[in-house]
Structure 1
């Protein structure tokens, strides 16, 4: 089963595409551009449509989703944690 998708291997977050992701689950992700798979263990419950961090990210790091810079980290995020508005902000303002 695929739990999350990402377009580019350099992405630091990916979109959860199934319901019921719970802390402790081993998640399988599909890198669309390369037709390859990656794994990460969920550290938190993550709702469908939200982002999971694929790597440890520090405050100030750039977040990449679908191969695009989508913002910066405002609070540290560990691989497998929920990446959302509480720890990622746009660089526009």
Structure 2
């Protein structure tokens, strides 16, 4: 069986973007520059979604493409899908802006 593909753009990333649909239990080959690593998917994850490349603790920052995209709303195991059910986005939140007096 051929490993499925995923992409990371930064060594800071703790998630990778899937380049194809992945079935539960599938081996995912993660490319970062000229290097690769693998992780096993813990669930079926669709093309374009994020997979955790390592365990992420509740409250920890989630980083994609070298940028913070939010924080984990619960513990996320390596190989799990990272999406709105376990990711709290921080972008566009007016309550997190400096000087907010609400």
What is the TM-score with the length of structure 1 in the denominator?
0.90
Gaps of 5+ in 1: none
Post-superposition Cα deviations, 1:31-89, rounded to whole Å, max 9, x if no partner, equal 1xx32111101011000010000110111000010011110000111000000000001
Q: How many residues align?
A: 90
Structure 1 runs of 4+ with >4 Å offset: none
Which has more radius of gyration? 2
What is the TM-score with the length of structure 2 in the denominator?
0.82
Gaps of 5+ in 2: 94-102
* Structure with greater contact order relative to length (CA < 8 Å, sep ≥ 6): 1
Structural RMSD (CA): 1.2
